Amino acid sequence: MQSGLGIQRRSVFWRNLFIFLSVMGPGLITANVDNDAGGITTYSVAGAHFGYSLLWIFIPLAIVLVIIQEMCSRMGVVTGKGLADLIRERFGVRITFYAMIIFIFSNLTNTIAEFSGIAASCEIFGISRYVSLPISAVLVWWVVVKGTYKSVEKVFLAACLLYLAYVATGFLVKPQWTDVGLAMITPQFSFEPVYLLIMMGLIGTTIAPWMQFYQQSSVVEKGIKLKNYKFARLDVIIGGIIVNIIAIFIIISCAATLFKSGIRIETAKDAALALKPLAGRYCSALFAFGLLNASLFAAMILPLATAYSVCEGLGWEAGVDKRMKEAPQFYFLFTALIVVGAGVIMFPNLNLIMVMLLSQAANAVFLPFVLVFMLILINDKRLMGDYCNSRFYNIVVWATVVLLIALTTAFAVTAFIARN
Amino acid sequence: MTDGMNIDEIKTRAREMFVNFSEILGKRVKDMDGVFVGDVWDISAKVGEVYPKSDELIISVGRFRRTYAALQWSKIARIEDSIFLNVKKREIKFSPEAKQYEFLFKRDVLDQQVVDTFNHKVRRVNDVHFLRVNNELVIAHVEIGTRGLLRRLGWEKPVDMAVSLVNKNSPYLKQDDVVSWKYIQPVSLSSAGMTMKLSLTEKQLLSIPPADLGDMIFDLDVNHRMVLFRSLDLKTKSKVFEHLTPEEQKTLLRDLDKKEAALIISHMPPDEATDFLERLPRASVANLLTLVESARAKKLSTLLGYSSDSAGGLMTTEFVSVPETATAGDAIEFIKSKTREFESVFYIYIVDDKNRLKGITAIRLLLFAAPGDNILKTAFPSTVYVHLRDSAREVAYLMDRYKVSAIPVVDERKVLQGIITSDDILSQVIAIAWRRRPKNIKGV
């Protein structure tokens, strides 16, 4: 009965593939939104300023990213609730309220980064930020409130294929792959404040605090069942690996072009030069288009996800299917985030690259808070039953918390010393 | 002032009768000698009463290695700034694990989502008001408003002051957003499993209009959603299902087993059921219809054959037709026996032996006719109808022009196929006007 078995195995494969395709999404989408304006900028700056020397960070980063995202999906699948809901129910209103204030602040800095990405990319096309920002802010608000976001999501996702330009460039520039490989596995460290800042940026942009909330909500919304959980995990792993591969290729491209010829990134135009080997004189347009897509995509998701989570935690009505009178706090928060996010960038002569970089470093400061909440929740037997964290997971995530705090302190201290 | 009390005093007395749970949670517990014993952790109650009463006080000590102790309510001497016990500290046994309780006020109510059957919403509880009866606490209201939120943050007084500076008569100061416990359905899951504690009778849930109930179900998280939905009877289930948006229907369908779904579909009015089935892939429609009772399945598959914005797609097969030979009395008897489960009966359609439409009459006209009259005598002077392939626009135009609340649909040979009621056409017209599914618009 050799052939019979073969057929059976085959049909199991197809069935599994089908289940995976139906469960897939949250991990991949979160991963792609992760490569937002702040992400592209931070990776570019890291490559242009430090060559390959920060590449080693991506192996541990990928592991931690997958572990953290996996924890979120697991909590979402097991409890059927969002992270903000769980925080409220476990820690009470007071802690939730202050956690939400930090959360809003952190997401505001990220929203600001998305709008600076929009401004920077439009400036490459020669459009003034005083034109591009109001238009994009209204566009973002309108698309989301009118409930058409779901239909544009696919367009954004498709446009994320533009990142492949970096992968192509990475091969075109013919780097010394042995050097790259060596840099991947040789940890290097420097107490130079800029180095520490960019390191914080890399961590903060790859594992942004808002992603945990977003990931968990998407898993809940998708209604993934416990029995299909292993497929959701695969989704997270694939997403996490894709983010890191693209990040690595952005760094390789920038290191092989900008770093080599001593160009430092001051404006988005400089960053675009990394794509020159691939796109020649069209590199600026290609880069600008990719950046615009990434920024708009994230600018739609971030304020919406923030408003949802905050209202969820504080027990206010939320949702774009509600009327403004029914959910005033929700609409206020959502609108305020967009208005402030776009408004800050209108400030004349603001260094957009710096804004994007700092916002991602700020993520690394806020991340430990989120992780501690997650660790307490996921180890709560009453909540998670048999799906609590393994000891290995706990050790990795606690170590991440400690290292992040240490890194932030180190940066603060060295920056203070350097100033004086 | 006969009893010597002024209004303010009455107000103060009334306020003293109630105590906020958040205040109790912050209190220290002291023994009969005033020695500190522990902090309030939670309060348990017996389930089954309409207004649960405090049963045991659970206290805890230690921050990292917390230990717990449960105290019978009779051991509480008085509740003041601290809670004083009438026992000594050494008599109290602490253990590292709290006892298992069925119902705890903090765990199951405070900060949790509850179903508010009075306002038809899912709420998050900001505070709980207890009524003091002798020494005992009886749950009275839950607080859902901003003020309760601010109180727990410790900002009530400053915000009150700020608001009264702006507007002394602000409604914010006058009223607390509270809901009586009798309208509250806690939905917390017990640690044992996924069973919902139904402290309320389902009657209260059933008094909620199905559209609101559907909204509420979707405000709950996935696990609770199914538990609440499953707790409804079949009729309510199909009513709720009918009022959901297409996306919500799909979400719910995913969690239902096929048999349950088929049952719900067969209990929906045929036109609503077709609306829903139309959006599903062909394979799953066929799959579902095999589980639906055969006569109903046949009807549904016929309706599915028409495009959704043509008269054929809009119509329902739920109507009353009587043969042209019948009398007015026959017709009334017929209506009484057949139409109990119909959405609405406005008109009666008169057909010949080949089921061809001959005339239309109304219940009102039948009631005024002599029982022995031939039914055709009661018919309207003109018979307005539409064809299967007529568009929704034409249907709406005709219904408006002749001011009818339902219009019959016939095929080429004038054989009666179904009727379109005004609410079906109204949702089409609204959809055209709003360019959006009408069910997404709340409060219209």
pLDDT in tens, B389-403: 888 888 888 888 888
What is the reported pLDDT for B423? 80
Confidence of residue B188 (pLDDT cuts 50, 70, 90): low
Q: Is A223 on the interface with B (CB under 8 A)?
A: yes
Measured between CA atoms, how close is B110 to chain A, in angstroms? Answer: 8
User: Which of A312-326, B244-258, B303-317 has the lowest average pLDDT?
Assistant: B303-317
Measured between CA atoms, how close is B225 to chain A, in angstroms? Answer: 10
Rounded to the nearest 5°, which phi and psi values hold at B441?
-90, 115
- Chain A residues with beta carbon closer than 8 angstroms to that of B114: none
| Mean pLDDT of the region A255-283 | 77
- The three-state DSSP-derived secondary structure of chain B is CCCCCCHHHHHHHHHHHEEEHHHHHCCEEECCCCCEEEEEEEEEECCCCCCCEEEEEEEEECCCCCEEEEEEHHHEEEECCCEEECCCHHHCCCECCCCCCCCEHHHHCCCCEEEECCCCEEEECCEEEEEEECCEEEEEEEECCHHHHHHHHCCHHHHHHHHHHHCCCCHHHHCCCEEEHHHEEECCECCCCCCECCCCCHHHHHCCCHHHHHHHHHHCCHHHHHHHHHCCCHHHHHHHHHCCCHHHHHHHHHHCCHHHHHHHHHHCCHHHHHHHHHCCCHHHHHHHHHHCCHHHHHHHHHHHCCCCCEHHHHCECCCEEEECCCEHHHHHHHHHHHCCCCCCCCEEEEECCCCEEEEEEEHHHHHHCCCCCEHHHHCCCCCCCEECCCEHHHHHHHHHHHCCCEEEEECCCCEEEEEEEHHHHHHHHHHHHHCCCHHHCCCC
- Chain B residues with beta carbon closer than 8 angstroms to that of A92: 110-111, 152
| Mean pLDDT of the region A317-329 | 81
Range of the domain at B357: 314-434
Question: Structure tokens of B172?
Answer: 């914010």
- Chain A residues with beta carbon closer than 8 angstroms to that of B283: none
Q: Is A18 on the interface with B (CB under 8 A)?
A: no
Confidence of residue B330 (pLDDT cuts 50, 70, 90): confident
Given a cut of 90, whether residue A63 has pLDDT beyond it is yes
Measured between CA atoms, how close is B434 to chain A, in angstroms? Answer: 12
- Chain A residues with beta carbon closer than 8 angstroms to that of B221: 79-82, 85, 220
Among the three residues B202, B231, B257, which one is the final residue of a domain in this structure? Answer: B202
For residues B175 and B133, membership in a common domain is answered with yes
Q: Is A192 on the interface with B (CB under 8 A)?
A: no
* Contact at CB, B152 and A79, closer than 8 angstroms: no
| Mean pLDDT of the region A371-380 | 92
More confident residue, A281 or B172: A281
* Contact at CB, A315 and B144, closer than 8 angstroms: yes
User: Which of A204-213, A284-293, A319-328, B83-92 has the lowest average pLDDT?
Assistant: A319-328
For residues B148 and B211, membership in a common domain is answered with no
What is the reported pLDDT for B190? 45
What is the reported pLDDT for B434? 61
* Contact at CB, A81 and B440, closer than 8 angstroms: no
Confidence of residue B66 (pLDDT cuts 50, 70, 90): confident
User: Which of A86-95, A121-130, A386-395, B175-184 has the lowest average pLDDT?
Assistant: B175-184
What is the reported pLDDT for A338? 94
What is the reported pLDDT for A248? 92
Q: Is B185 on the interface with A (CB under 8 A)?
A: no
In tens, the pLDDT along A134-150 reads: 999 999 898 888 877 67
What is the reported pLDDT for B444? 32
What is the reported pLDDT for A8? 55
Measured between CA atoms, how close is A95 to chain B, in angstroms? Answer: 9
- Chain A residues with beta carbon closer than 8 angstroms to that of B254: 223
Percent of chain B with pLDDT over 90: 0
More confident residue, A387 or B312: A387
* Contact at CB, A147 and B191, closer than 8 angstroms: no
* Contact at CB, B123 and A315, closer than 8 angstroms: yes
- Name A226's Cβ contacts closer than 8 Å, sequence gap at least 6: A77, A78
Q: A248: closest CA among A193, A169, A327?
A: A169
List the single residue in A with minimal CA-CA distance to B251. Answer: A223
Q: Is A89 on the interface with B (CB under 8 A)?
A: yes
Q: Is A328 on the interface with B (CB under 8 A)?
A: no
Name the residue facing A223 among B112, B152, B254 (closest C-beta): B254
| Mean pLDDT of the region B27-54 | 84
User: Considering chain B, what is the average pLDDT of its residues?
Assistant: 78
Question: Structure tokens of B414?
Answer: 């004038």
What is the reported pLDDT for B194? 39
Measured between CA atoms, how close is B69 to chain A, in angstroms? Answer: 19
Measured between CA atoms, how close is A94 to chain B, in angstroms? Answer: 5
For residues B123 and B232, membership in a common domain is answered with no
Which of B143, B222, B223, B226 should one mutate to test binding to chain A, selecting the residue with the greatest count of A CBs within 10 A? Answer: B222
Q: Is A326 on the interface with B (CB under 8 A)?
A: yes
- Chain B residues with beta carbon closer than 8 angstroms to that of A317: 121
Q: Is A150 on the interface with B (CB under 8 A)?
A: no
Q: Is A386 on the interface with B (CB under 8 A)?
A: no
- Name B89's Cβ contacts closer than 8 Å, sequence gap at least 6: B31, B33, B35, B37
Residue B302 in any domain: the answer is no
What is the reported pLDDT for A383? 82
Among the three residues B202, B217, B243, which one is the final residue of a domain in this structure? Answer: B202
More confident residue, B5 or A46: A46
With H, G, I as helix, E, B as strand and everything else as coil, classify residue A322: coil
* Contact at CB, B111 and A88, closer than 8 angstroms: yes
- Chain B residues with beta carbon closer than 8 angstroms to that of A79: 221, 223
d(CA A184, CA A79): 38
Domains of chain A in start order, with CATH, are 29-419 (1.20.1740.10)
For residues B355 and B417, membership in a common domain is answered with yes
Q: Is B191 on the interface with A (CB under 8 A)?
A: yes
Q: How many CB pairs under 8 A join A and B?
A: 53
For residues B197 and B220, membership in a common domain is answered with no
Question: Structure tokens of B73?
Answer: 């309510």
Residue B116 in any domain: the answer is yes
Length of chain B: 444
Question: Structure tokens of A386?
Answer: 């048999």
| Mean pLDDT of the region B371-382 | 84
Q: Pairing between strand B76-79 and B83-85?
A: antiparallel
For residues B161 and B233, membership in a common domain is answered with no
Name the residue facing A315 among B124, B221, B440 (closest C-beta): B124
| Mean pLDDT of the region B118-132 | 82
Given a cut of 60, whether residue B324 has pLDDT beyond it is yes
- Chain B residues with beta carbon closer than 8 angstroms to that of A310: none
For residues B188 and B250, membership in a common domain is answered with no
What is the reported pLDDT for B8? 72
Among A359-368, B52-61, B338-347, B381-390, top mean pLDDT goes to A359-368
| ipTM over 0.95 threshold | no
Q: Give the type of residue at B165.
A: L
| Mean pLDDT of the region A193-214 | 90
* Contact at CB, A94 and B152, closer than 8 angstroms: yes
- Name B279's Cβ contacts closer than 8 Å, sequence gap at least 6: B246, B249, B250
| Mean pLDDT of the region A148-157 | 73
Given a cut of 60, whether residue B273 has pLDDT beyond it is yes
- Chain A residues with beta carbon closer than 8 angstroms to that of B126: 93, 315
- Name A349's Cβ contacts closer than 8 Å, sequence gap at least 6: none
Q: Is B251 on the interface with A (CB under 8 A)?
A: yes
| Mean pLDDT of the region B303-327 | 79
Number of domains in chain B: 4
For residues B54 and B128, membership in a common domain is answered with no
What is the reported pLDDT for B204? 66
For residues B133 and B89, membership in a common domain is answered with no
What is the reported pLDDT for B437? 45
Q: Is A314 on the interface with B (CB under 8 A)?
A: yes
Question: Structure tokens of B164?
Answer: 């009264």
For residues B253 and B350, membership in a common domain is answered with no
Percent of chain B with pLDDT over 70: 86
Q: Pairing between strand B320-323 and B347-351?
A: parallel
In tens, the pLDDT along B209-262 reads: 777 788 877 877 777 777 778 777 788 888 888 888 887 888 888 778 778 888
Predicted TM-score of the model (pTM) = 0.74
- Name A255's Cβ contacts closer than 8 Å, sequence gap at least 6: A47, A48, A51, A52, A175
Name the residue facing A382 among B124, B191, B254 (closest C-beta): B191
| Mean pLDDT of the region B314-329 | 84
What is the reported pLDDT for B343? 67
What is the reported pLDDT for B431? 66
List the single residue in A with minimal CA-CA distance to B25. Answer: A92
CB B158 within 8 A of CB B176: no
- Chain B residues with beta carbon closer than 8 angstroms to that of A89: 111-112
Confidence of residue A406 (pLDDT cuts 50, 70, 90): very high
Residue B308 in any domain: the answer is no
d(CA A413, CA A420): 11
CB half-sphere exposure, A397, CA atoms < 13 A: 27
B323: domain CATH number is: 3.10.580.10
Among the three residues B54, B86, B101, which one is the final residue of a domain in this structure? Answer: B101
Given a cut of 80, whether residue B191 has pLDDT beyond it is no
| Mean pLDDT of the region A154-181 | 81
Measured between CA atoms, how close is B55 to chain A, in angstroms? Answer: 22
Q: Is B63 on the interface with A (CB under 8 A)?
A: no
Q: Is A294 on the interface with B (CB under 8 A)?
A: no
Confidence of residue A372 (pLDDT cuts 50, 70, 90): very high
Confidence of residue B443 (pLDDT cuts 50, 70, 90): very low
User: Considering chain A, what is the average pLDDT of its residues?
Assistant: 85
Name the residue facing A323 among B221, B254, B443 (closest C-beta): B443
More confident residue, A277 or A233: A233
For residues B182 and B85, membership in a common domain is answered with no
| Mean pLDDT of the region B157-168 | 79
For residues B343 and B320, membership in a common domain is answered with yes
More confident residue, B66 or A14: B66
What is the reported pLDDT for B14? 66
d(CA B196, CA B194): 6
Percent of chain A with pLDDT over 90: 25
User: Which of A374-378, B161-165, B237-241 has the lowest average pLDDT?
Assistant: B161-165
Q: Is B255 on the interface with A (CB under 8 A)?
A: yes
- Chain B residues with beta carbon closer than 8 angstroms to that of A97: 149, 153
* Contact at CB, A92 and B152, closer than 8 angstroms: yes
Confidence of residue B54 (pLDDT cuts 50, 70, 90): confident
Residue B238 in any domain: the answer is yes
More confident residue, B1 or B165: B165
What is the reported pLDDT for B432? 67
Name the residue facing B111 among A89, A321, A323 (closest C-beta): A89
